Amino acid sequence: VQLYSRCMGIVRRMLSYQKKFRLRLDYEWLYLYREMVSLLQFINKHEAHLGESENLFVLCEQVVCAFNMFITFGDTFLPDPAAYDALYYEIIRVHEVFENLNELCKEHISSNKPWKESARRVCSKLTNIKTIIRHFRSKTEEWTAANPGSIITSDQVLAVIRANYDTLTLKLQDSLDHYDKYAENPREVPFFRQSMRSLVEEYSAAFSVAQIDYTAMG
């Protein structure tokens, strides 16, 4: 969990830098969208086990903040409008992942479970994503009602998205591009110390001194 959290910290810093300087990378952002969704799926599935010892909502908040960066500022750093359309399409396609996360947050907020305040922050940051899902779900349902017997295709969903941006109202979220300054010492030292210890232990278990063929080295 700590490693994933650091990876998301890198993503957030990268997006903030791109937004600040309006840098448009020639990159297929759909890969990142889907990897972040997969991470949320994993957390939703294993929260009951992993959440006993780790505050998984801190990691969820980082992922949701990254999505909000794309939603709010994507027009300043995404390479073209198609990348922005793909973001909305992906959010709609995997709506159950965000809805499950929202339910998980509400479960912690309404009970005496730990990490209640972290869950509350995630729930608040899901506001725009939930609005996007509701808005475009209603628009696709209108399309289906107007075209009985037809199954809406991905291209048609994208067309619905492009035609209905103007009627979508989102809330401006503060501090999306703000982050704590990286300081290895003392905050990150325990993580790297434990990582090195685990690496040495795994290497020692895999390659004992008795297994080395010294004759081959001569």
Give tens-digit pLDDT for 69-83: 999 999 999 999 999
Q: Over range 7-31, report the average pLDDT.
A: 94
Q: Are 55 and 114 in contact (CB under 8 A)?
A: yes
Q: How far apart are CA 74 and CA 80, in angstroms?
A: 9
User: Two tokens at 183?
Assistant: 């300081």
130-183 residue pLDDT tens: 999 999 999 999 999 999 999 999 999 999 999 999 999 999 888 888 777 766
